[in-house]
Amino acid sequence: MVDAHQTFVIVGGGLAGAKAAETLRSEGFTGRVILICDERDHPYERPPLSKGYLLGKEERDSVFVHEPTWYARADIELHLGQPAVHLDPAARTVRLGDGTLIAYDRLLLATGAEPRRLDIPGTALAGVHHLRRLAHAERLRGVLASLGRENGHLVIAGAGWIGLEVAAAARSYGAEVTVVEQAPTPLHGVLGPELGAMFAELHREKGVRFHFGARLTEIIGQDGMVLAARTDDGEEHPAHDVLAAIGAAPRTALAEQAGLALVDREDGGGIAVDAALRTSDPHIYAAGDVAAAHHPLLGSRIRVEHWANALNGGPAAARAMLGEDVRYDRIPYFFSDQYDLGMEYSGYAPPGSYDQVVCRGDVGKREFVAFWLAGGRLLAGMNVNVWDVAEPVRQLIREGRPLDADALADPDVPLESLLP
């Protein structure tokens, strides 16, 4: 039975928001829990949108965080298809798009991120796509199947994780794929040139064409349909559809309107929160893609746009809202599946932060673990088609002690043996 002594409101119907609502109940909170979702679908997870669901290997129902009836059973008041349009921290109220005014005692902003748009001519054509929401994935899944049947061409702007995963899905349907990327290798800003080249070779073997060192300047169409994509070096690529996969921007409009402290875009953007995921207003918290959190272990503020951060950050914020002593110091983690390659990445090693990359295993066979080091200390590790090593990698990062590079590179030396 819910009592009305307190009302906790969650704005954002993604994984972070849904798991925060679940945690409030599992921790014994008996007040009102209100979950505001601007999409009409129940909260769902996003990784399948570019992986199993897009490939046709998973059904639509598999993406949802909870079955629809769970929310009523847990006494979660769910507002679907209702954006929050105004936040008043002084009055502690949120106004929805239909005019409904909701008062709160504690508020969690889990508004996520939105795909960055191509600012070029031709983006209004019918064949230009983004991939962020379930509706995007449903549409793109049909497009890829059609391109495969008709030997059609897909041009992808951006060779990040979404761009590469969609390229792999498109090739599995039989579509022709060209990826346009300004950097010299895929995933250049995440993995650097050392490992980015490996992903380029993987996709080339599967028939993907890359155009590096260039960006799209125009999408050419006729009668509302895409015909080609032009780059700034004068190249023109045939295309029936174009996917913009040039990154995502945190959805901070509500926080900005309310006067909460934000992080500059040059520093990653997002809502500034402390180690307890509390914003500059003591009654408002933020989690997931939108939160730029001070990380106690890394000693810096970072914003992480990956599944694990939403999965763990939502519950951490819920516990902080309940007054528990929270120190959110999870090691960043993400994973990707492309063709027969599966990988996990743990840690944080942005360009310029490391001075050495060490690999154990066979990079040529794509069965290896890569380590990014700075002064002998492990910043990040990526296991490719090698499993059950992510946890010791995270422990080594957390220890922060200098490591022997030769021992890291030796497959006969168990990673656990390098722990104190």
Q: Are strands 76-79 and 241-244 parallel, antiparallel or unpaired?
A: unpaired
pTM: 0.95
Domains of the chain: 7-114+249-321 (3.50.50.60), 128-246 (3.50.50.60), 340-418 (3.30.390.30)
Per-residue pLDDT of 142-153, as tens digits, reads 999 999 999 999
CA distance 200 to 168: 12
> Which 3 state secondary structure label does DSSP give 167?
helix
CA distance 353 to 390: 21
- List CB contacts of 222: < 8 A, sequence separation 6 or more: none
CA distance 47 to 337: 10
CA proximity to 111, closest of 5, 196, 39: 39
Confidence of residue 3 (pLDDT cuts 50, 70, 90): low
Average pLDDT over every residue of 366-394 = 97
Residue bearing tokens 């949802």: 64
Distances from the Cα of 171 to the Cαs of 154, 252, 408, in angstroms? 10, 35, 35
Confidence of residue 359 (pLDDT cuts 50, 70, 90): very high
CA proximity to 169, closest of 63, 58, 45, 50: 50
| Averaged pLDDT of the chain | 96
> Which 3 state secondary structure label does DSSP give 133?
coil
Quick check: 368 pLDDT over 90? yes
| Amino acid sitting at position 86 | H
> Which 3 state secondary structure label does DSSP give 170?
helix
Per-residue pLDDT of 70-93, as tens digits, reads 999 999 999 999 999 999 999 999
Provide long-range contacts, Cβ within 8 A and 24+ apart, for 264-269: 267/292, 267/301, 268/292, 268/301, 268/302, 268/303, 269/303
Quick check: 203 pLDDT over 80? yes
Per-residue pLDDT of 223-257, as tens digits, reads 999 999 999 999 999 999 999 999 999 999 999 99
| Amino acid sitting at position 316 | A
Distances from the Cα of 291 to the Cαs of 166, 220, 330, in angstroms? 26, 37, 14
CA proximity to 115, closest of 143, 140, 80, 148: 140
